[in-house]
Amino acid sequence: MRIDIITVQPELLRSPFEHSIMQRAQQKGLLEVVVHDLREYGIGKHRMVDDYQFGGGAGMVMMPEPLANILDDLQAQRKYDEIIYLTPDGELLKQKRVNQLSLKENLILICGHYKGIDERIREHYVTLEISIGDYVLSGGELPAAVLVDAIGRLIPGGLGDETSALFDSFQDQLLAPPVYTRPAVFRGWAVPEILRSGNFPAIEEWRHQQAIERTRQRRPDLLDENDQS
């Protein structure tokens, strides 16, 4: 999989992909993340990428020409499955969408900045808009890093344990059950006996019931979504 990220703050995206699972996936050739500095397509000697908005109002807007030019260049090189704009008013990111995107071959992520991007880019280029939550950040770089991480860890071979991602929270619309490790007793607090029993069918049933109960307590909305699907 290849993911191209368009940003005016490329330095913010260096560290997230140089460690752990993201680094391993790239070293294995499973994932390629290419960060593009939009200012290289900026207008004039000052490489302008933003301007005042029509109609007045506070805040600058990312201009259409630099974005259109870099998008045209990228699409001339390969076919992209999605052009994704990270924006607070996009679709709220959920595991189901991440699963779908992990099956794609080529993605472009556009990181918003200032007051956002010119609406004409959204209308004529963007195919999917994603938000990571109901709040506003300084730019789309952190959401882009979140999205790449969520996708990259699902690519076969990226995780050390191929089955690990299958049991993450939200994969089956349930939160993950409690987990324990050694020692079996710590400060008088014991690991549930069932987990030490060696009865794996019983353990799986216990985990499933714990997941349901934890979801009921913390995220009952997920159980409601299950009922509707």
Q: What is the pLDDT of residues 188-212, one digit of tens each?
A: 999 999 999 999 999 999 999 999 9
Q: How many residues does the chain have?
A: 229
DSSP helix, strand, coil percent of the chain (3-state; round to 5): 40, 20, 40
What 3-state DSSP class applies to 112? coil
What are the distances in angstroms from CA 229 to CA 173, 213, 215, 222, 223? 10, 19, 17, 11, 10
Asked if the structure places residue 159 within a domain, the reply is no
Last residue of a domain, one of 119, 152, 185: 152
In eight-state DSSP terms, residue 44 is T
Residue 206 backbone phi and psi in degrees, to 5:
-60, -45
Asked if the structure places residue 8 within a domain, the reply is yes
Compute the mean pLDDT over every residue in the chain, rounded to the nearest whole number.
92
Last residue of a domain, one of 152, 183, 204: 152
Residue-number span of the structural domain to which 188 is assigned: 169-228
What pLDDT is recorded for position 173? 85
Confidence label for 228 from pLDDT (cuts 50, 70 and 90): low
Find out whether 111 and 144 touch, Cβ atoms under 8 Å: yes
Find out whether 125 and 83 touch, Cβ atoms under 8 Å: yes
**Does one domain contain both 63 and 109?**
yes
Lowest-confidence region among 58-62, 146-150, 169-173, 221-225: 169-173
127-153 confidence digits (pLDDT tens): 999 999 999 999 999 999 999 999 999
What pLDDT is recorded for position 142? 97
Asked if the structure places residue 109 within a domain, the reply is yes
147-182 confidence digits (pLDDT tens): 999 999 998 876 655 555 555 656 678 999 999 999
**Does one domain contain both 70 and 177?**
no
**Does one domain contain both 144 and 178?**
no
What 3-state DSSP class applies to 158? coil
**Does one domain contain both 47 and 141?**
yes
Please, which residues have CB within 8 angstroms of residue 27's CB and are 6 or more apart in sequence?
none
Q: How much of the chain, in percent, has pLDDT values that exceed 70?
A: 92
What are the distances in angstroms from CA 42 to CA 64, 72, 181? 10, 14, 53
State how many domains the chain has.
2
**Does one domain contain both 124 and 179?**
no
Asked if the structure places residue 163 within a domain, the reply is no
Last residue of a domain, one of 107, 125, 152: 152
**Does one domain contain both 6 and 119?**
yes
The single residue listed with the structure tokens 């060696």 is 198
CATH number for the domain including 215?
A: 1.10.1270.20
pTM of the model: 0.88
CATH number for the domain including 148?
A: 3.40.1280.10
**Does one domain contain both 142 and 63?**
yes
Largest Cα–Cα separation, the chain? 70
